[in-house]
Amino acid sequence: MSEPAARTHTLKAMAGPGKGGRYHHGHLRAALIDTAVELIGERGVRGFSLTEATRRLGVAVSAPYAHFADRDDLLAAVAVRAYELLYTELVPESGQVQPPADRLAAMARAYVRFAAANRPLFEVLHEAGLDKARHPEIEAAERPLTDAFLTCVRALSDGGDAAAQDLATAIEATAHGHAMLLLDDGSRQQIEAVELAAERTARATMALVASRHLLGRPAGRPGLA
Amino acid sequence: MSEPAARTHTLKAMAGPGKGGRYHHGHLRAALIDTAVELIGERGVRGFSLTEATRRLGVAVSAPYAHFADRDDLLAAVAVRAYELLYTELVPESGQVQPPADRLAAMARAYVRFAAANRPLFEVLHEAGLDKARHPEIEAAERPLTDAFLTCVRALSDGGDAAAQDLATAIEATAHGHAMLLLDDGSRQQIEAVELAAERTARATMALVASRHLLGRPAGRPGLA
DNA sequence: GTCTATATCCCGATAGAC
DNA sequence: GTCTATCGGGATATAGAC
């Protein structure tokens, strides 16, 4: 597997499972993000350390500080990339479909697929413990996605803004829950399991839409039960 | 720090900020679990360390090893406690209600309330990264809960075992998703927010039950779309 | 922009005394 | 069952040279 080494500065694309990638100068910032994703995929977010990233890249432990304020700052950059990729995988996919209900189901399905196919990126979003107040870029990167989703929900909801919020929350929670359970589940990332979970998510979304009249709180009750 | 030697057993340094608890001898095991829950509540699972727990209890760093093989072994004990408490809060509550659909909604509602009211315990279950193969006690503690849940689902499902699994997964995912979103959400543990999420979870469960005929995969399609 | 070197701190785990 | 002492490791972050 490992390379015979040498070749000083061909493209850095490697940095694979073996190691070897030793590319400095110029694109360290991007390389650090790549390596972070790689390491998170191997040891989880909580197991990620700047030190190990520099080891793998063959640079000095102090090198990252020329590009990131600290460890969390690097993780925040990973989170931004995650939201950007998530957007490109959710919105175009849902654009192909016409009825709003099916669009929502397609987005939910794509959400679960994204979580399975990009586990490290997905993990960063919810398990990194990032302080969003300190890293506004994250919410900025998230916004286009939630906007597209909410637009889609409103196009469907018939009971005003409160009803739209109820439906949106239910779908979000269901998709997120399916993704979490899939990732927690032993580890099996087999395509079968992923597609089963994705399909279940899509169907659950359709079910929620179909029974959306049950989601609202009874009028007259300001708070709730 | 040359020591004046002796002073054999006066009190050792204060344990912590306001944390006077200094109870050794006999129930260290239980005290460690309590302290772990406490610390996890303050710094999260990933921020928990055995060392800090011993500091807070005012015992030696080696003391825990008389009761737990290692750090994960202690966390596993916390997870067991979590499942036990979760069981007592879910099952009796659902026992009060008769129609299976309402029982399921009550369980889902209680699940979200539990997550909010016992955040440290809930976190351990999904964010501790415990190896369940190495800690069979965890699954053993979980089983009664899933059994009660599945029994409830089967009492309701009308399409055989596959349909029951589909419905069970959908409800699990929805409840878990609501809980995760609630805990991720900034931090607000206000009762209002908790009860809103809990109520939404219950209603989403009812909606899924009402449209459960949409959850199944079309017969004849072995895999899925 | 990157490296060398270092300061500082914390953690898990073990050995052996009591 | 608990304590003292310690080993070995790894992490973050900074200072200063190139």
pLDDT, tens only, B178-195: 999 999 986 667 999 999
Q: Rounded to whole angstroms, how far apart are CA atoms A5 and A24?
A: 15
CB atoms within 10 A of CB A185: 11
Q: Does pLDDT of A8 surpass 80?
A: no
Q: Rounded to whole angstroms, how far apart are CA atoms A123 and A48?
A: 12
* Residue A26 beta carbon within 7 A of nucleic strand C: yes
Backbone angles phi, psi at A217, to 5 degrees: -80, 140
Q: Does B184 touch chain A (CB under 8 A)?
A: yes
Query: Which residue type does B94 have?
Result: S
Q: Does A195 touch chain B (CB under 8 A)?
A: yes
* Residue B173 beta carbon within 7 A of nucleic strand D: no
Q: Rounded to whole angstroms, how far apart are CA atoms A129 and A136?
A: 14
Those nucleotides of strand D lying less than 7 Å from any protein Cβ are 1-6, 10-16
Question: Best interface-test mutation with A: which of B203, B205, B215, B221 has the largest number of A CBs within 10 A?
Answer: B203
The answer to whether the Cβ–Cβ distance between A206 and B210 falls below 8 Å is no
Q: Rounded to whole angstroms, how far apart are CA atoms B109 and B105?
A: 6
C-alpha distances in angstroms, A164 versus A98, A153, A177?
A: 19, 6, 20
Q: Which of B83, B108, B91, B100 is nearest to B176 (CA)?
A: B108
Kindly report which amino acid residue has its CA closest to the C1' atom of nucleotide D4. Answer: B60
* Residue A61 beta carbon within 7 A of nucleic strand C: yes
Cβ contacts of A177 on chain B, cutoff 8 Å:
172-178, 180
pLDDT band of residue B24 (cuts 50, 70, 90) is low
pLDDT band of residue B51 (cuts 50, 70, 90) is very high
Q: Which of B208, B212, B182, B199 is nearest to B106 (CA)?
A: B199
Q: Does pLDDT of B93 surpass 90?
A: no
Backbone angles phi, psi at A199, to 5 degrees: -70, -40
| Closest-approach residue (CA) in chain B for A203 | B215
Of the listed ranges A2-6, B47-51, B80-84, B172-176, the least confidently predicted one is: A2-6
Question: Best interface-test mutation with A: which of B178, B183, B187, B190 has the largest number of A CBs within 10 A?
Answer: B178
Instruction: Decide: pTM greater than 0.85.
Output: yes
* Residue B13 beta carbon within 7 A of nucleic strand D: no
Q: Does B162 touch chain A (CB under 8 A)?
A: no
Give the three-class secondary structure for B144: helix
Q: Rounded to whole angstroms, how far apart are CA atoms B171 and B207?
A: 10
Q: Rounded to whole angstroms, how far apart are CA atoms A174 and B176?
A: 8
Q: Rounded to whole angstroms, how far apart are CA atoms B147 and B132?
A: 18
Residue A171's pLDDT is what?
98
pLDDT band of residue B141 (cuts 50, 70, 90) is very high
For chain A, the average pLDDT equals 88
Q: Rounded to whole angstroms, how far apart are CA atoms B202 and B108?
A: 6
The residue with tokens 């939910």 is A108
Q: Which of residues 65-124 of B touch strand D (CB under 7 A)?
A: 65-67
Protein B31 CA to nucleic acid D1 C1', in Å? 14
Q: Which of B60, B44, B56 is nearest to B19 (CA)?
A: B56
Of the listed ranges A30-39, A174-183, B21-30, the least confidently predicted one is: B21-30
Terminal-to-terminal C-alpha distance of chain A: 61
Give the three-class secondary structure for B116: helix
pLDDT band of residue A23 (cuts 50, 70, 90) is low
Question: Best interface-test mutation with B: which of A123, A187, A208 has the largest number of B CBs within 10 A?
Answer: A208
Two tokens, residue B206: 């009812």
* Residue A181 beta carbon within 7 A of nucleic strand C: no
